[in-house]
Structure formats: C-alpha cells, structure tokens
Structure 1
Amino acid sequence: MDLFHVLSDEDEKRSRLDRRLAQLALDDVDFVVNASISEMAARAGVSPPTITRFCRRLGCKGYPDFKVQLARLAYVGLRYVKPDVPAETPGEVAADIIANAQNALFQLQRQLDLSALETAARLLRGADFIQAFGASGNSAMIVNELHNRLFRLGCRINASNDHNMNAMLSAAAQPGTVVFGSSFTGRDMALVHCLELLRERGVPSIVITQSGSPVAAAADVVLAVDLPEGRNIFRPTATRYAYLAVIDMLANLVAYADRSTALRTLRGIKQELVSRRDGDDRQLLGD
C-alpha cells in the first residue's frame, strides 16, 4: 500500500474529518511518527478511538501500523510528500531554471579538481580507444555527449548505455583502452563491477560522479561533482549542467593536446557539412 496516495485522496471520496486527519499527518510526518495515539488525538481535537477508526479506514491494522506506513514516506524523502514548488508561471519557471543552472556552474568552478581534469584529458587524448559507460537517463546522455564531442577531435570512441554490454566490454578491454564512466549518484553497482574488472586488467578508468561514493572508490581518476539537490522534485536536476560543463572542459583540453589531429578532423567534418547542407561555414558543427 502506498499511504501517500491514500492520504492524498485527490478524488475526495473520504469524509471531511478523514481528509482533515490525513492533511494533519501529511503536514507533520515527523510528529505523527513519534507521537502516541493520545498526542495525535489531542492535536487533531478528536478521541483516540476516532484515530484508530481513521487508520483502519485507510487500510491499516491500527495506529501503530499507520505510523509504520507513514515512516516509510519519510524514508523515501519528505520532499516527495510535500514538494517545494516556488515557481509556477512561465516567467518564474524560466528564472528558476536559469538561476539553478548558473548556481550549478558556479559551485562546480569552486570545487573542481583541476589536476584530475588535466589527468583525465591526457588519458583520453593518449588512448588508442575510448569506451564510455553510462546508464539510467542522465548518465547515458553524458557519455553520449562525450562521444559527440570527442569523435570530431579525431578520437576513437564508443558510448554504451547497457549494463550487460558494459560488463562484456570491460572483460574484453585491451591495452591502450581508456574507459570513462558517468554516475550522478555514485551508487551504480553495475558500473562499479565494470570498474573492478578494468582495474584487474590494468585498464585505466575515469569517472565523473559524487566524491566518496562506491563508483569513485573503484575508479583511477575521479572528476568529482558534489551539488545539492533542491526540494523541487518537478524541476530537472541542475547537476546536468555541471556534468556537461566538465565534458566541454575535457573536449577542449583534448583538442588543445593534439591540435593538428583535432583541426584535421574538424575541417573534414565542416567541409562535408558546408558542401552538402549549409553553403557556408557560419552554422554549427552538427545539428
């Protein structure tokens, strides 16, 4: 049973009293989880038996069971019970998104390990082949973007977003390969397994992830990104902008490390686009 959906009662099928008691529970989960039935009844202005009957109407065995179910809401996170929605109009949403993106980039600049960034770029530029491992949405997007940035600089790179394929590629990795992994939480244990396989084979690995995480511990070079998430669960994570900025930094450093190779590849791509699509060189390199 998902008690949150039961308490929310968006169809308003319950009585006014039940809706009031439900709102009391949602408004102060911590109080209810730690309160006795008498304390709950006193705050609600009803009798303890009324509380018991309310809990049973929700599908709970009684008040103790109700508290257990309510505690599970807190375990998932109270922001998923009472989300903070500070922006609603298009103007407010636009300002909120831009402000959070700017803040993510500002915090990244303050915490970025430039030595690790330089080491990662050197490994990528010197690799015979690059494997980029991601999964689960955001990280899949990040490794695909790394592929998009580096192939045009003359790097041989493949991006994979399948855990089983990543494990097989790790087991088959040859000398000269460098593996780049992305995990926003740092708790992707399938990626950890890949990194352990690579370490056994002596294949260097680079990860962009949270510091102090299992993924970070299993990698050779860690590009740490530690940004707090806000309470607005409806807003896409601004951490994406920080990760994309790191990818751009790596691409720029890789390009500068071998300008002749990068220039030759970029010019070949641009020549194809100008002759077939654009007619001149003013458009972006890609679409």
Structure 2
Amino acid sequence: MSPLVKIRAERDQMSAVERRVADFILENAQLLRDYSSQQLANALGISQSSVVKFTQKLGFKGYPDLKYSVGEAIARADNGDAAQVDAQARAAEGESDGRSLWRCKSEAEEETRLINPDDTLQAVAQALASAGSTGKVFMVGLGDDDIHARSFALRLSLLGIPSVHNADPARLAASVSAAGAGDLLLVFSEQGHHPALCKVGRFFKEQQGRLVTVTRHTSNPLRALADVALLVSAHDDRPYIQPLLYQSALQHLLDSVFVLLCEGDEQRHLQLLANLERVQQMLEP
C-alpha cells in the first residue's frame, strides 16, 4: 500500500499531534525529501520523538524509511509530467490505454476500500435501514453527484426503503423542515464545499436528524458536519482520467453498502426479489 494512502486511511484514528504530522506530509509530500526528522519537528513545533513515533506507528522502521517510501511513491509525479511518464511506462510494458484505465480504477477502488473500514459501512447500512423503517431517507446531489444520488435512491426503493430525492437544495430544505430524530440525510458532494449543501446539512442536524456524507477523502466542511462520512480516494494527474476514477470508486463504495443492506435482513432481500420481478414484467413486451 502507498504510504500516502496508508496515512489517509489512518488519519481519523490519530491523535492531534499525529494528525498535524500526517497533514503536513499529505500536503507537502514532494518537499519531504528535504526535511530531516528534526527539521520536520521544528516546522510543526513538536518534538523529534513525536515524528519518530508517528513513523513507527505506521509500520516503518524510522523516519528515513518513511521518507524514502514517500519519495518512491511520488517519483513519477515529481517532474510535473506524470501523465507523459505514465504513458511511456505503459507503452514500454505493452499495456494498452484500456488496460491502464482498468488498473487505475482498481487502484482507486482499493484505496477507497482501505479508507472506509467495515464498521463505517455497517454504520451507514444500519442508519439507512433504521431511517427506512422508522423515519424518512432524504437524498441530494448536485451535477454529476446527482447521478449517483438518483441511482442509489432507486436501489433503496427496490429494498422497500423509500427516499425523498431532490437535486435542488432550496426545495430539499423545504422538504426537511419536517425532519425528525428518526430521519437521515445522505448528501453526495465530491468536493464537500458547496455552501447550500452545508446549510442544508446544518439545518437537518438542528432537526435532530442524522447526516451521512459522501465526499472526496479531503478535509472539507460537509465532511466535518457528518455523523458518518463515506470517503472516496481517486487521484490522477490527468484531468480526463480523475473523474472516471472517482465515479468508479464511488459506485463500488455504494455497491458495498447496498450489498450489506441486501444481506442484512431477509425481509428486505425478499422485497428486492419481488420488486425486481415486477420491474422485469413491466419491461417485457
């Protein structure tokens, strides 16, 4: 596993000092090679031993081992032309563009799996099931995020969990005005910075509802508001590839939650089979 992925995956379980070290490394990975452990400690205003303990907690022998591993992980991107270097590497290895895309998607899905522990997926599935039986599930996403929100809302309905889906934050705010403690709001926002969605999230929590967010694995205001946060890791220097990786990893993440809902309750499973049969009958000539 890439050291940067490992740091992202374990950041939320770190202490305040460890998170400071983690954030510095994630934000300044290319500069890490120029820092000794003492210089890094001085830059963060912590002790050198804290830096050493951080590296050992991640499973490295020491700071030099971590620095070398990070440098190796970003070597291709270090020249600022990672896409060209990667293309040349693929050509040298005889790998087609199609196979390369499959590989990149697999890596993004694996990174996303690592930063969403089983306990988190179970918590989201249980929250959806509980809201579906005792309250309401509200769902919103803007732009491309609405595609995933709409699709997931349909899947929930097949399980007998109806959702109030809306692509307009203003109308959603009106809908959630009657939300209560048994309700859940699922917000899809890749960057997690949209002011309207943050306002809806705060309003929903004031109504004592539970908030679940789906964003990139970055620090963002929407994620900070969430009771449970689902995170997507999808990185690529090519602007035409990165959205494809995000969508693929996000779909895999939602599929995992859907499977948990299907297998977690026999009644829901039977409801799904019955609804799928009705849909098939409607589609038949």
TM-score scaled by length of structure 2: 0.61
The match for 1:126 is 130
Q: CA deviation at 1:270?
A: 3.2
Among 247, 251, 259, the residue aligned to 1:252: 259
Is the 2:139–2:185 contact (alpha carbons within 8 Å) kept by the matching residues of 1?
A: yes
Query: What is the correspondence of 1:29-48 to structure 2 with a 5 Å cutoff?
Result: none
TM-score scaled by length of structure 1: 0.61
Q: CA deviation at 1:185?
A: 1.1
Is the 2:112–2:231 contact (alpha carbons within 8 Å) kept by the matching residues of 1?
A: no
Deviations 1:188-231 (A, max 9, x none): 22111111001111011111113431011111111122332x12
- Name the aligned partner's letter for residue 232 of structure 2: V
Gaps of 5+ in 2: 1-79
Among 157, 175, 186, the residue aligned to 1:180: 186
The match for 2:5 is none
Is the 1:84–1:233 contact (alpha carbons within 8 Å) kept by the matching residues of 2?
A: no
**Structure number with bigger Rg:** 1
Indicate whether 1:219 and 2:223 are aligned.
Answer: no
Task: Tell me the secondary structure at the aligned position of residue 185 of structure 1.
Answer: coil
- Name the aligned partner's letter for residue 107 of structure 2: N
- Name the aligned partner's letter for residue 119 of structure 1: A
Indicate whether 1:158 and 2:180 are aligned.
Answer: no
Paired with 1:169 and 1:241, the residues of 2 have a C-alpha distance of: 30
Paired with 1:148 and 1:87, the residues of 2 have a C-alpha distance of: 39
Paired with 2:211 and 2:282, the residues of 1 have a C-alpha distance of: 38
Among 101, 106, 110, the residue aligned to 1:102: 106
Task: Tell me the secondary structure at the aligned position of residue 180 of structure 1.
Answer: strand
Task: Tell me the secondary structure at the aligned position of residue 158 of structure 1.
Answer: strand
Is the 2:184–2:209 contact (alpha carbons within 8 Å) kept by the matching residues of 1?
A: yes
Q: CA deviation at 1:251?
A: 1.1
Paired with 1:218 and 1:276, the residues of 2 have a C-alpha distance of: 41
Task: Tell me the secondary structure at the aligned position of residue 176 of structure 1.
Answer: coil
Residue 83 to residue 167, structure 1, CA distance change in 2 (3 Å): farther
Residue 213 to residue 275, structure 1, CA distance change in 2 (3 Å): closer
Is the 1:125–1:257 contact (alpha carbons within 8 Å) kept by the matching residues of 2?
A: no
Residue 166 to residue 276, structure 1, CA distance change in 2 (3 Å): closer
Task: Tell me the secondary structure at the aligned position of residue 238 of structure 1.
Answer: helix
Gaps of 5+ in 1: 1-80, 280-287
The match for 1:242 is 249
Task: Tell me the secondary structure at the aligned position of residue 96 of structure 2.
Answer: helix
Paired with 1:205 and 1:182, the residues of 2 have a C-alpha distance of: 11
Is the 1:113–1:224 contact (alpha carbons within 8 Å) kept by the matching residues of 2?
A: no
Deviations 1:24-82 (A, max 9, x none): xxxxxxxxxxxxxxxxxxxxxxxxxxxxxxxxxxxxxxxxxxxxxxxxxxxxxxxxx98
Is the 1:192–1:214 contact (alpha carbons within 8 Å) kept by the matching residues of 2?
A: yes
The match for 1:207 is 213
Paired with 2:158 and 2:251, the residues of 1 have a C-alpha distance of: 17
Q: CA deviation at 1:232?
A: 1.0
Residue 273 to residue 132, structure 1, CA distance change in 2 (3 Å): closer
Identity across matched positions, percent: 18
Paired with 2:279 and 2:155, the residues of 1 have a C-alpha distance of: 16
Paired with 1:108 and 1:222, the residues of 2 have a C-alpha distance of: 12
Q: CA deviation at 1:276?
A: 4.7
Is the 2:186–2:213 contact (alpha carbons within 8 Å) kept by the matching residues of 1?
A: yes
Task: Tell me the secondary structure at the aligned position of residue 123 of structure 1.
Answer: helix
Task: Tell me the secondary structure at the aligned position of residue 170 of structure 1.
Answer: helix
Paired with 1:154 and 1:184, the residues of 2 have a C-alpha distance of: 27
Residue 276 to residue 208, structure 1, CA distance change in 2 (3 Å): closer
